[in-house]
Amino acid sequence: SALTQPASVSGSPGQSITISCTGTGSDLGGYEYVSWYQRHPGGPPKLIIFDVSNRPSGVSYRFSGSKSGNTASLTISGLQTEDEADYYCSSYTSWNTLYVFGTGTKVTV
Amino acid sequence: EVQLVNSGGGLVQPGGSLRLSCAASGFTFSNYWMSWVRQAPGKGLEWVANIKQDGSEEHYVDSVKGRFIISRDNAKNSLDLQMYSLRAEDTAIYYCARGGTHYYSSGIKYFDYWGQGTLLTVSS
């Protein structure tokens, strides 16, 4: 089943926020293959973190990822209005589905 | 520049069929596993299927097994999703995405580029 994320997180410009992503030992706890995606309304998802804590080229340093046990986290520091979007975590899983996504978190700035 | 362009969505009656396509450019298509991911209205993202670089291996989410077929043409840099016996719950925006490699294969275990998505509506 889907990874669990808070439905919404809000913050003021310049603040830091953290989005949690909770799974099980069959997904987050079993693999170092956690990724995070940003999706603005009407657009496709954009990869912002891969393999737990790596940023693709061109993604702001303000985005950082980590994992402990069955929970992964995305931190956005120095919050900007352009960060207002939906965020999804994802993990490889040993279930038949191979890849599972989180329930999604709406970030409001 | 990597580009993935989705096409083929539309309105289909329950029980009907449809084929989605994805045209890839800007990278060596045959070097990557490719995937389809969907998002139903008001729901989160759901991985649907993936296919190995040479097309020799495919995997599907349980809800579409036996109804959907993923395929690719490396000569044409294209990815397809043939869908049969469509249900209302298949209504979603469908994205092709680069990546989503099987655990036992080398390759990226994430989705680094996405198409713009194409809307499938299953309704009578």
What pLDDT band is residue B32 in, cutting at 50, 70 and 90? Answer: very high
For residue A20, give the H/E element and its range.
strand A17-22
Q: What is the model's pLDDT at position B59?
A: 94
Confirm or reject contact between B111 and chain A (CB < 8 A).
yes
| Chain centre distance of CA B98 | 10
In tens, the pLDDT along B42-61 reads 999 999 999 999 999 999 99
Rg (CA), chain A: 13
Q: How many CB pairs under 8 A join A and B?
A: 67
Q: What is the model's pLDDT at position A96?
A: 77
C-alpha–C-alpha distance, residues B110 and B43, integer Å: 20
Q: What is the mean pLDDT of residues B101-119?
A: 92
C-alpha–C-alpha distance, residues A51 and A30, integer Å: 13
Alpha-carbon dihedral sign for residues A64, A48, B110, A72: positive
Residue with tokens 């989160």: B44
Residue with tokens 């990822």: A65
Average pLDDT over chain B, rounded to an integer: 96
Q: What is the model's pLDDT at position B121?
A: 98
C-alpha–C-alpha distance, residues B37 and B52, integer Å: 15
In this structure, the number of other CB atoms found within 10 A of the CB of residue B13 comes to: 10
Confirm or reject contact between A101 and chain B (CB < 8 A).
yes
Q: What is the model's pLDDT at position B58?
A: 95
C-alpha–C-alpha distance, residues B29 and A70, integer Å: 34
Indicate whether B13 pLDDT > 80: yes
Confirm or reject contact between A104 and chain B (CB < 8 A).
yes
Q: What is the model's pLDDT at position B26?
A: 98
Confirm or reject contact between B57 and chain A (CB < 8 A).
no
Q: What is the mean pLDDT of residues B86-103?
A: 95
Which of A47, A96, A97 is closest, CB to CB, to B111?
A: A47
What pLDDT band is residue B106 in, cutting at 50, 70 and 90? Answer: confident
| pLDDT, one tens digit for every residue, chain A (109 residues) | 899 999 999 999 999 999 999 999 999 999 999 999 999 999 999 999 999 999 999 999 999 999 999 999 999 999 999 999 999 999 999 887 889 999 999 999 9
